[in-house]
Amino acid sequence: MGWFDDDFYSTKVKRKTRREFRLGRRGSYEFGSRDRYGPMFKVALVSSLASSLVVAIVFTLFAGHGGTGSGSSRVVSTAPIVETSERTVTASAKIRPAVVSIINRTQQNVDLDDEESLENASLGSGVIFRKEKGKALIVTNAHVLEDAAEVQVVLVNGKMLPATIVGKDTITDLAVLQIDATGIDTVAAIGNSETLQEGETVIAIGNPLGFADSLTSGIVSNLHRTIPISLNQNGVYDWEEEVIQTDAAINAGNSGGALADLDGKLVGINSMKIADMGVEGIGFAIPINDAMPIVEELIASGKVLRPYLGIYSMNYASYLDSLKQQQMIEEDPDAQKIPDDQKIDELPVPDDVKKGVLVLEAVGPAKEAGLKLNDLIVKFDDQTISNTIEMRKYLYNHKKIGESLTISFYRDGKLQKVAVKLTEKNEDSE
């Protein structure tokens, strides 16, 4: 049985509809077996020509006016339809030579011999995005270069080159490397992440698990997924990152690699995935439109200049949860009691205040302005501050170095205000 089982696709013709063909005297095929079919054939021919003419006129009218009567024209594309698989092959061929593997040797394994050093090194990926002044610039993730003492880059052809860190930023998890550009011919074309659509096919290229030059594909699952981040890796979320979610496979070592569209253009930097039992197909990439301004600042300054307030803090809501748990333990006769030196003191704050940022330590500008332990910050200027994420976002998105910030806070149950002059934020500062 063939793929198609109906008369429409069959090459056979039903017996009752079969016409007889015979070879005429002059070598041409004649339709029919009797002359009486001649007039019927002429009528059919005229009708067919008339119908074709009507269809052509109607098509011309609709093509010219868009079928809306508004007078606007619509261009009918004559471009050939290309299969997605063919576009994936073409796109990967364009950008793959620009994707590199990154070997990060910390000081601890730099002192080992070459073989042991390589085995103990951490691996990541990067993308060559520019060549200038005999150097090639590579964008990657900042966490790929964590504690780096020596960095090497492996090109797609296997050539290994020493790399210099131009700059990195832990907040956005972006970094820029520099290598010698000799022999490097391919630079990734920068795309536009704002034109991506959910459901659009994308490809991820990198060095997962040490398998260099690996390619996976998937779709864009979400264009503006907000992911909470713990910058200090202490389990406390103190930043949020807006990322592209994709189901293209991203594994350890893919970090810093390319997320590309089917035109072979760089639309994101693969950054992280959810790695948990039973979780599949949830990976994230930094949108290239968000990444490039940071990259340019790293090239210009070696770091991202941000205003610095100078406080170590915790969410007031977390403090209230801890206080509640302490009270439950104290009321439970069977529970092990908390030592006095580990108990949390209840702060004199109005009962209707449930959110804010509690100061654990003030240094730098905050200390100079008079902030101190257990001050509860509730506003920056006229903006309500509910947690540390909102605090950072307001500082980094709305204030500049050298500007003054008015802080509203509770101390000893009373609402007070103080002005703080913001200074430059150092890489190691909170």
Query: Going by C-beta distance under 8 Å and a sequence separation of 6 or more, which residues neighbour residue 409?
Result: 356, 359, 371, 375, 376, 377, 378, 415, 416, 417, 418
Q: Quick one: pLDDT at residue 83?
A: 62
Least confident of 9-18, 115-124, 316-325: 9-18
Q: Quick one: pLDDT at residue 94?
A: 96
Percentage of residues in the chain having pLDDT higher than 90 = 60
- φ and ψ of 393, to 5 deg: -60, -40
Q: 28: how many CB neighbours lie within 10 A of its CB? A: 7
- Using CA atoms, how far residue 123 sits from 12, 106, 206, 293, in Å, is 62, 11, 10, 25
Alpha-carbon span 429 to 181, nearest angstrom? 34
Band the pLDDT of 65: cuts 50, 70, 90: very low
The DSSP bridge pattern shows strands 135-140 and 189-190 to be unpaired
- Using CA atoms, how far residue 320 sits from 61, 317, 344, 353, in Å, is 71, 5, 10, 11
- Sign of the CA dihedral running 221, 226, 230, 236: negative
Alpha-carbon span 363 to 365, nearest angstrom? 6
Q: 200: how many CB neighbours lie within 10 A of its CB? A: 14
Q: 355: how many CB neighbours lie within 10 A of its CB? A: 15
Alpha-carbon span 399 to 422, nearest angstrom? 8
Between residues 259 and 31, which one has the greater pLDDT?
259
- φ and ψ of 105, to 5 deg: -105, 120
Between residues 236 and 355, which one has the greater pLDDT?
355
Alpha-carbon span 244 to 223, nearest angstrom? 5
Known catalytic residue at 255: yes
Homologous superfamily of the 85-180 domain (CATH): Trypsin-like serine proteases (2.40.10.10)
CATH number for the segment(s) 196-292: 2.40.10.10
Task: State yes or no: pLDDT of 416 exceeds 60.
Answer: yes
Per-residue pLDDT, averaged over 108-114, amounts to 65
Band the pLDDT of 48: cuts 50, 70, 90: low
**Which of 235-244, 249-258, 268-277: highest mean pLDDT?**
249-258
From the list 101, 122, 125, 143, the catalytic residue is: 143
Task: State yes or no: pLDDT of 58 exceeds 80.
Answer: no
- pTM for this structure? 0.73
The reply to whether 85-180 and 307-424 are identical in fold is no
Band the pLDDT of 90: cuts 50, 70, 90: very high
Alpha-carbon span 189 to 172, nearest angstrom? 21
Known catalytic residue at 247: no
Residue 93, Cβ density class (10 Å: 0-12 exposed, 13-18 middle, ≥19 buried): exposed
Q: Quick one: pLDDT at residue 10?
A: 33
From the list 92, 101, 173, 238, the catalytic residue is: 173
Between residues 287 and 62, which one has the greater pLDDT?
287
Q: Which of 217, 222, 216 lies closest to 201, judged by CA? A: 217
Per-residue pLDDT, averaged over 43-71, amounts to 51
In tens, the pLDDT along 287-311 reads: 999 999 999 999 999 999 999 999 9
User: What architecture is domain 307-424?
Assistant: Roll (2.30)
Known catalytic residue at 408: no
Least confident of 4-8, 79-83, 119-123, 363-367: 4-8
Helix (H, G, I), strand (E, B) or coil at 49: helix
Query: Going by C-beta distance under 8 Å and a sequence separation of 6 or more, which residues neighbour residue 268?
Result: 193, 202, 243, 244, 258, 259, 285, 286, 287, 288, 291
Task: State yes or no: pLDDT of 98 exceeds 90.
Answer: yes
**Domain ranges within the chain, ordered by starting residue:** 16-75, 85-180, 196-292, 307-424
Q: Which of 268, 270, 257, 307 lies closest to 291, judged by CA? A: 268
Three-state secondary structure of 57-73: HHHHHHHHHCCCCCCCC
In tens, the pLDDT along 384-400 reads: 999 999 999 999 999 99
Q: Quick one: pLDDT at residue 19?
A: 38
In tens, the pLDDT along 179-219 reads: 999 999 999 999 999 999 999 999 999 998 888 889 999 99
